[in-house]
Each structure stands twice: as structure tokens, then as C-alpha cells.
Structure 1
Amino acid sequence: MSDSSVAIIAGPSLADYHFGEAHAFGPQRHQAFLDGIEQLGIQGQFDWLSPVRCDEQCLQRFHNRDFIDKVRQASKLGIGYLDQGDTPARTGIFEAASTVVGSVIDMVDRIMQGQYRRGFVP
């Protein structure tokens, strides 16, 4: 196990996962998390890891080809919704979502292997 029992995966590619300024899950959420850590002065208590992007095979464990293609197309066009109206599409959302998935899987793997006891993927 690392000297720290807690890891945080953070970085610009992870911060890019949001649904626009008007959505509750907006672009400021990632920086707000990092600002809170800094304000508390506890940055040194964690191992900081880089985001990891999930490949298409990984996505197919949970989503069918049609949905993956729908999200990819909406990500290119930057319009529409990914569901029934709560999750707006925007340019780059496919890549950003793939990074969130890959980072969460990476963190879970590290915890299951005993490298960390806890992890955050803000």
C-alpha cells in the first residue's frame, strides 16, 4: 500500500465531464472540489493520479452498441439529449464520459488490489 491510503484522480480531461453551465452538474464542480482540498490545506495527504480513458470494449460491458453510437454522434454534433431529457449532449461528452468510466475503473482496481483504502474521482 502507498504511504497514503487515499488517492484522488484529477485532471483537465476528467474536469471536462459536465453538462454545460445551465446544468446542476456543471463545469465548475471539478475545480470546486480541488479548491476545497486546497483551502483545507490537505493536498499532501493524498496520492494524486492521472485520469485514464476507457476503451470501447470496456464501455460495451455495460452499454449496447446502439447507445454507444448514439452518445458518440451526439458528442460530435453537440446537440440533443443522451436520455429522456435530463442529460444534455455537448461536444466532447463521449470522450469526457469515457475518461470518467476509465478513471473510476482504475480507482476501483487499485482499491481491490489493496493499493488504496479509499479513492475519489471528482
Structure 2
Amino acid sequence: MFEYHGWITVHESATDDDPRRKAEIAEGLRHRVDEIAGPYLLDLRWMNGELFLHIGGFSNRRAPEILDLFRHVGTVAPGSYGLLHVRDDEDARHENDVRVLRMVRGNVTEDTEWSLSPCIPVLEDPFGG
């Protein structure tokens, strides 16, 4: 099971965005989102002059394309910031954790989301209990 929920505020840089460059970034991200669209919640939109990407879903298997998309945004728009929460029972090291990928200035780090972990017993009761 692979569950994920996240958002990114997309910025070309941490100082100021060139409108033409940001439009090019948006166009490239739109193509990337369209390539992997399907069962995923992928919402790229402009709101009040700013570009946002919202991601969410729940699938039977890990969706590496979602993790790749999150990291890709940081690469093409290094002023971006956001969070992606992931629960992945196929990750042997973290099968009972919710992980959080944190993007700041385009750089992505990963840690355990302690307010939702460990999944059992925080989110669910133990089996047979």
C-alpha cells in the first residue's frame, strides 16, 4: 500500500521569479503531470499569480513516478518549497512510519513524520487486538 499527500509552491528562485521563465517551468511541469496522469491526484494550477502543485493518492504499489515528480520540481524550480507525506508498507526500513519529504529551496530531505508514526498504534490498532 502506498499513500501520499503533498503540495509544492513552485518558484524559479528564492529571490524573484522571471514571469517568462516561470511560465516555461509551468509548461514543462504540465507536460510531466500529463505524462503520469491517471489514478493520481495531480493538480497543477495558478492561484493569485502563484503556481502550486497538489499531489495525493492511494495505490496498491509504490509509485516511484510520484517521488520522482516531487524531486523534479526542486530541480527545475530551485526556489520551490513544500511537503510530501508518504506511507509505504513496501519500505522495509519504514513500513510502520509515515515519512515526510521536505523541499526547501529545491532541496529535498526525508524524515519520519512523528505526529503520525508509528502507524500502529498511532493510526491503527494492532492486528488481532
Short-chain TM bin = under 0.3
Quick check: which one's helix share is greater?
1
Taking CA–CA contacts closer than 8 Å with sequence separation of 6 or more, which of the two structures ends up with the larger relative contact order? 1
What TM-score does the superposition give when structure 2 sets the normalisation length? 0.26
What TM-score does the superposition give when structure 1 sets the normalisation length? 0.27
